[in-house]
Structure 1
């Protein structure tokens, strides 16, 4: 009986800890990254369709909410890898195209570069 109760309590504790939001500094970085995306005027490709940066931000926020409910975002790099680099349904990488740029780049590379600029204190 004692062992069963311990197992149940441990399972509950694990379940509760799994639904943790990203740490505040990480969430602030992610919010800054998504704000840069929205302000960029770039286009965002998901599964072969181009979307505005504002639509991309909203989509990525929904994915972030889902991952936070699962307790899976402990760093901004995890957010980029798990939510912002590709489609969870098709597996296709997301792409970003800015201005007159002909070639689109992988969103992971674009977001990684923007994250480095945020951390270096550069304005977007």
Structure 2
């Protein structure tokens, strides 16, 4: 009984820790991916924008300690495969760029919007 209560408490604490709020910059970047009409290329395979956003969300949820803002999210999680090291690419309007470049442009837009609201 005591062990069960302890395990439940640990589970509750872990789930609370894992559900910590995603920083606004990162949330914005993932939504930019999701709402784009682009193809995201991971390890040579094209994926829909929605699947790419889901993948980036999963990566963030599993490794949020490496991404406390938009810049570290791009650098550490959203620019290349953590398994192969191959850079992610994004194809929009038949033009292919690295996800790092594409996301940095979006992050600059986010900061510009944030500044104009002040």
Which range, TM-score by smaller chain?
0.7 to 0.9
- RCO higher in structure (CA 8 A, sep ≥6): 1
User: Counterpart of 1:78?
Assistant: 72
Alignment of 1:37 onto 2:33 = yes
Q: How many residues align?
A: 100
**4+ runs deviating over 4 angstroms:** none
5+ long unaligned stretches in structure 2: 1-16
Alignment of 1:91 onto 2:91 = no
Pairing partner for 1:117 from 109, 115, 118: 109
Give TM-score, length-normalised by structure 2.
0.75
Aligned CA-pair RMSD: 2.4
User: Counterpart of 2:44?
Assistant: 48
5+ long unaligned stretches in structure 1: 1-19
Give TM-score, length-normalised by structure 1.
0.72
Deviations 1:29-87 (A, max 9, x none): 1111111111110110000000011100000111001112xx22222111111110000
Whole-Å Cα distance in 2 between the matches of residues 109 and 87 of structure 1?
15
SS of the counterpart of 1:105? strand
